Amino acid sequence: MPTYSAPIRDFQFLMHDVLKLQNQNLPGYADLDREFTAAVLEAADKLASDMLVPLNKVGDEQGCTLKDGVVHTPDGFKEAFDAMKAGGWTALDADPEYGGQGIPYLLAIATNEIFTAANMAFSMYQGLTHGAYSAIHTHGTPEQKKTYLPKMVSCDWTGTMNLTEPHCGTDLGLLRTRAEPQDDGSYLLTGQKIFISSGDHDLAENVIHLVLAKAPGGGEGTKGISLFIVPKFLVNEDGSLGERNAVSVGSLEEKMGIHGNATCVMNYDGARGWLLGDLHKGMRAMFTMMNEARLGVAMQGYACADAAYQNAVIYAKDRLQGRAATGVVNPAGAADPLIVHPDIRRSLMDQKAFIEGGRALVMWGAHLMDRSHAGDEDADGLISLLTPVAKGFLTDKGFESTVMAQQVFGGHGYIEEHGMSQYVRDARIAMIYEGANGVQALDLVARKLPQDGGRQMMAFFERIKAFCKKHGDNDAMAEDFIAPLKAASKDLQTAAMYFMERGMKNPNDALAGSHDFLHLFGHVTLGYIWSRICLTAHHALENGTGDTEFYQTKLATGRYYMSRALPMTATHLARIQSGSRHVMALPADAF
């Protein structure tokens, strides 16, 4: 049975020491003292350990079932969901006006990471609800907010996002679901949506679907799309549940992983819905959900990897195999533990350096979102630039990391018994949903990079430059951190320049390098984050604040990332600079 323990020390280090939240004048931050964050994180860890971790394999094995139109979640999910609601976890960072606790996203995402690492499929029921909550909170009428938000904050009602149709996903301009306006101001929706996570289940009284559909008069493509609130049960004036809406589950998808989450085909057969936000401006409203959701998916990438890593470490310390090349370590045993072997270390260090760097990136991103919500435009611009990087890079690498963790187990990783296969299968979805990673790369190169005349990209480079300048003379930083960060950042600048120059003449020259650019950007960002982490650790050691081992481990892990991961930027740059010539050389028929 796999185990998982929340990295509370790391969360606190990032929040209090690296991001120094106590110095930030932001709503709710004053309440986040060390005692409070520890209490919240420990309570989340307890819920995760007691209820969610043991259900992870149950969910994988049982999956969800559809009987007579009703979706049943795996044994124990209902009890765990009730416990999550009772603990107030669903309301953590929601608006107090609707029953939320108004806690900053910075802390909320840490608890979400704990729940995700413990049981990704389970945590999605609440995760999707939060996305739908945000969309209604931002775009809903006062009446809509009053009707839906309190119940969604408590997760008595859960939420979904309905975008994809059988013939279209990324290209939503092609969608066919129709919304016919009615005299009473409502709409009747007809069409089929697929891949609807948490689409239906037995955990909540009602499911509030947010559905993209075309209402008359909106024109072609995405311009004609509006967003609708379509509840599973209609809501009476007094807030009680009324009749069943004409929305039903067509089938459950058989998937590679996240079996505990009900992925539904949803059929809308004249289902009654209400416009959310402006008519024909549905894409904008949907992106409110998507941007937040993308950072959440980025988190899933390394959260799953962390759970897998923790189990790989246990196995590597326990399993005896061979002898250390430098001399016997475990003379009392028949062999030394796996962890003595350099190639196992290489794998564990790759995982550890990625996971901790990924966590720091997402925590920083959550902090930027807190700033953005408080009106900080620079923070808003930066997180807008970093979101596709975080989503694409951390989910690609997160999946790779689970594969590495599985590999530590040898044959025992391939059988389902130890749960390593499940981490790999679960993590795989994060590269696909909320915009497949190719779409993240496209978003980055075609939209975010040139946005505002490249202002956000420039600001990012300036930030790194300033950091390097400030700490370039610090002996503790210069060689191990600043030098490789400078080199990697230069590769990124060269790549950005290449796109600027070539993209005008031939957009394919930029697009052919989009995947590599996203990864190059990801490495530079993690290199920067690791440099900040290690600067903080260095200061703490200088100041003699104790916990020496923790800070020295950070420094060693950071040095590993800088020396062994950052060299990838040169390869990405070389691939980018080869342009589209070889990528596009063949006619389609030649494949």
Q: Distance between CA 116 and CA 303 in Å, rounded?
A: 6
Reference 521, options 464, 469, 451; nearest CA is: 464
Residue 475, CA atoms < 13 Å, CB-side half-sphere: 1
- CA 500 vs. chain centroid, Å, equals 29
* Cβ 316 to its own copies shortest distance, Å: 8
Q: Quick check: helix, strand or coil at residue 234?
A: strand
If the CB atoms of residues 170 and 182 are measured against its own copies, the closer one turns out to be 170
Give the nearer residue to its own copies in terms of CB position, either 416 or 501: 416
Of 113, 417, 434, 462, which one is the catalytic site residue? 434
Q: Report strand pairing: 206-214 vs 157-162.
A: parallel
Is 486:492 a contact under the CB 8 Å cutoff? no
Structural tokens at position 59: 């969910």
Is-contact 192 211, C-beta < 8 A?
Answer: no
Smallest distance, its own copies to C-beta of residue 579, A: 9
Q: Can you tell me whether residue 230 is helix, strand or coil?
A: strand
Identify the residue whose tokens are 């009446």. Answer: 143
Measured from the CB atom, the residue of 186 and 347 that comes closer to its own copies is: 347
- Shortest separation between residue 87's beta carbon and its own copies, angstroms: 31
**Cα first-last separation, the chain:** 44
* Minimum distance, C-beta of residue 555 to its own copies, in the bound complex (Å): 9
| Nearest distance, CB of residue 431 and its own copies, angstroms | 7
328 HSE (CA, 13 A, CB side): 6
Q: In this complex, which beta carbon is closest to its own copies, that of residue 150 or of residue 392?
A: 392
Structure tokens at 339: 């962890």
- Whether the CB-CB separation of 233 and 206 falls below 8 Å is answered with yes
Q: How many CB atoms lie within 10 A of CB 254?
A: 8
Q: How far is the CB of 249 from its own copies (least distance, A)?
A: 15
Nearer to its own copies, 168 or 241 (CB): 168
411 Cβ contact partners less than 8 Å away, ≥ 6 residues apart: none
Q: Based on CB atoms, which residue is closest to its own copies, 489 or 557? A: 557
For the bound state, the minimum distance from the C-beta of residue 329 to its own copies, rounded and expressed in Å, comes to: 9
159 with 128: CB under 8 angstroms?
A: yes
Whether 434 sits among the annotated catalytic residues: the reply is yes
Say which DSSP state 327 is in: S
Residue closer to its own copies, measured from CB, 138 or 407: 407
Q: Which residues are catalytic?
A: 434
